A and B are shown apart, each in its own frame.
Chain A
Amino acid sequence: MKKEIIKIQDLKREFTMGDETVHALKGISFTIHEGEFVTIMGSSGSGKSTMLNILGCLDQPSSGTYEIDGVLVKKLSRNELAKIRNEKIGFIFQAYNLLPRTTSIENAELPLIYNNKVSTEERHKRAVDALNLVGLGQRLDHTPAQLSGGQQQRVAIARSLVNDPVVILADEATGNLDTRTSYEIMALFQELNHKGKTIVFVTHEPDIAEFSSRTIILKDGAIIKDEFNNDVQDAAAALAALPKED
């Protein structure tokens, strides 16, 4: 049996809005093992953002338990949560969220700035390595304005890799990209997954889900489908099959 990276049990999250209590998550349980590539799908309002915030240790559940890499995330302080995010999680956002007018290297090394155990030299080296891995070895000193959307997302992926996280959380990571670039990014995610990275990918595009090994579908705060994909599509092949551009 592979290591349990994410383990949630009967997870509930409620928000109070005025007099009303909104049940965003109504008792969810699942376990993600090391090396899995999971897509979480659902329409807006299904609770997938709330789910992702909790998985990313940006938010705490109202009840139920959440364990990440064996650490029980419950009643942790803001600073302890920050430490877990820093050491165990790699974030990728729909809007890339790179620092403007800042080079790829400086963007990629950002998480390590908040880790005192990593020296300046080590930080620099790891940022360069990560950028090489995502295929941006030639654009180390470019600022986001000098990069295409796909390249910016690659910088963001490099940033999520530098701290060697136990899980990469991607929030609609291809949402702002065209089909071709989306497939390129998915090919990169598959490559990272083959190297052993655990990936949780939130999306609402069904074709993206075909590239993952498991899909969890949420509706109204509950899981309506959780199944393994026996027919994982190869993103690189899908990319090659796309009609050639002029």
Chain B
Amino acid sequence: MRILNLLKTAWKAILLNKVRTLLTMLGIIIGVASVIAMLAIGEGSKQSIRTQISSMGSNMINIRPGADMRGGVRLDASEMQSLKLEDYNALKTEASLITNVSPQVSGSGQVIYGANNWPTSIYGVSPSYIEIKKLDIVNGSMFTQSEVNSFAKVAVIGQTIVENLFPNEDPVGKMIRFDNTPFKIIGVLGEKGENTFGQDQDDIILAPYTAVQKRILAIDYLQSIVASAVSEEKADAAVEQVSEILRKQHNITAHDSDDFNVFSMEELISMFSSTNEMLTVLLVAIASISLLIGGIGIMNIMYVSVKERTREIGLRMAVGGMGRDILLQFLIEAILISITGGLLGVLLGLASTVFIENVLNWPTSVTSYSIIVSFAVCAVTGIFFGWYPARKAAALDPINALRYE
């Protein structure tokens, strides 16, 4: 029996039971649609994390004090004082793969201007910090290296501080107090909004790290160092180079573990993506279960179909249909149901993705592989669950099948 005849026969059988077939397909349709929608949501949020992290500076490199042991006791990273000003200077002069580098020390406290006050954080940095973090000054200017060298108590503030302390005034030139230390405002940062983690990036005061170290924190070490690689592609090499220099600075031999950690943004992205991926796997697993149930639905209806058409099978065998012909007929019918269901599922999945994107405002991204994979799974489902009923049909004895009531 030719394949075209088989397809025609199968298609006719499907059309003869439209409602029943559609209900059977529903499981597959919902399964495929949800797999596609879930993957689109997962991929969408992954991409949005990526773009948001990249907007913080995609070639940024973070250096923090890391796993350290003192007499067998592991210390908390924030208590560690392994990063020194010398490290910063060494990176500044020796690291060829990084362009900008800035120390970072921070403290939180209450900032006061006149009758207004606001809880915030102060960051002690160097002037190149705004290049690294891709910040811009909309009013006034950034402090200079000489102001850093002279421990000047000058500050550049973010928009949230402006809103809370200077609702109706131009802040540049005004004096604010942070933990009783007066700072003169010399610049205002442009608005940056919330980052991926819901943190307000405008709730920030930048000041020379020297001043913050001495006047506010009373420390002589650095809490972290930020730098930017010459390019995004060179980020990994830059991480390697920075580690090399710091190991030398800290006299760490090949056998000892580092007392610092260097992250590129890429690593940060993959760190956050991995949680996200787990969620996606979970969602897809749930969707796959509905696909499985859809497949069982097909098997069920194919059994009914074989039973119902026992006499037809008997007749087909009597006029010369071989077991193979009968097997193929029912198998193709099952595959056709699952593939048609898969096709409708893809359409429904795409439609619901558009709905999620526009009505719920969740970021989504449909990947071609999700469509291909769910479609392939459908075909396999059809073959897998259609096989047993088809085998049963093919194995019927024509004499009994012809007399079946």
Contact = CB atoms under 8 A, between A and B. Distances in A.
Interface of A: 53, 56, 58-59, 78-79, 82-83, 85-87, 91, 93, 97, 99, 101-102, 110-111, 113-116, 159, 163
Contacts of A101: 16
A116 B321 CA distance: 11
B399 A113 contact: no
A79 B322 CA distance: 6
Contacts of A59: 399
B317 interface: yes
Given A53-B399, A93-B402, A111 B320 contact: yes
Interface string B1-14: 11001000100100
A86 B1 CA distance: 12
In the A-B complex, the 6 residue pairs with the closest CB atoms: A86-B320, A111-B319, A114-B320, A82-B322, A97-B315, A79-B322
B318 A85 contact: yes
B92 interface: no
A97 B5 CA distance: 20
Contact of A115 (B311, B316, B320, B324): B320
B232 interface: no
B399 A58 contact: yes
A110 B319 contact: yes
A216 to B, nearest CB: 21
A90 B179 CA distance: 105
Contacts of A82: 317, 320-323
B325 A58 contact: no
Interface of B is mostly: helix
Interface in B147-206: none
Contact of A114 (B16, B311, B321, B398): B321
Contacts of B316: 110, 114
Contacts of B311: 97
A53 B16 CA distance: 31
A97 B402 contact: yes
Contact of A159 (B317, B319, B321, B402): B319
Interface string B314-338: 1111111111110000000000000
Interface in B296-323: 311-312, 314-323
A113 B1 contact: yes
Given A58-B398, A115-B320, 18 more contacts: A58-B318, A78-B322, A79-B322, A82-B317, A82-B322, A82-B323, A85-B319, A91-B319, A93-B315, A97-B311, A97-B314, A110-B316, A113-B5, A114-B1, A114-B316, A114-B320, A116-B2, A163-B320
A201 to B, nearest CB: 17
Contacts of B323: 78-79, 82
Nearest to A111: B319
A61 B283 CA distance: 60
B304 to A, nearest CB: 16
B283 to A, nearest CB: 43
Interface of B: 1-2, 5, 9, 12, 16, 311-312, 314-325, 398-399, 402
A168 to B, nearest CB: 12
A116 B324 CA distance: 14
A114 B311 CA distance: 17
22 contacts: A58-B398, A58-B399, A79-B322, A83-B320, A85-B320, A86-B319, A86-B320, A91-B318, A93-B315, A93-B402, A97-B314, A101-B16, A102-B12, A110-B315, A111-B320, A113-B5, A113-B9, A114-B1, A114-B319, A114-B320, A116-B1, A159-B319
Contacts of B9: 113
A8 to B, nearest CB: 18
Nearest to B405: A95
A170 to B, nearest CB: 13
A58 B402 CA distance: 10
A138 to B, nearest CB: 24
Contacts of B2: 116
Contacts of B320: 82-83, 85-87, 111, 114-115, 163
A56 B319 CA distance: 10
Contacts of A83: 320, 322
Nearest to A169: B318
Contacts of A93: 315, 402
A159 B316 CA distance: 12
Contacts of B319: 85-86, 91, 110-111, 114, 159, 163
A7 B186 CA distance: 116
A164 B321 CA distance: 17
B377 to A, nearest CB: 32
Contacts of B325: 114
A145 B1 CA distance: 27
Contacts of A85: 317-320
By CB atoms of chain A within 10 A, which of B2, B16, B320 has the most? B320
Nearest to A114: B320
A53 B402 CA distance: 11
Contacts of A113: 1, 5, 9
A114 B319 CA distance: 8
Contacts of B317: 82, 85
Nearest to B317: A82
A56 B318 contact: yes
B248 to A, nearest CB: 80
A115 B398 CA distance: 18
Nearest to B2: A116
A67 B317 CA distance: 21
Most buried by A among B318, B323, B325: B318
Q: Max chain B CB contacts within 10 Å: which of A56, A58, A59, A101?
A: A58
A110 B312 CA distance: 11
Highest count of chain B CB atoms <10 Å: which of A59, A113, A159 = A113
A87 B399 CA distance: 19
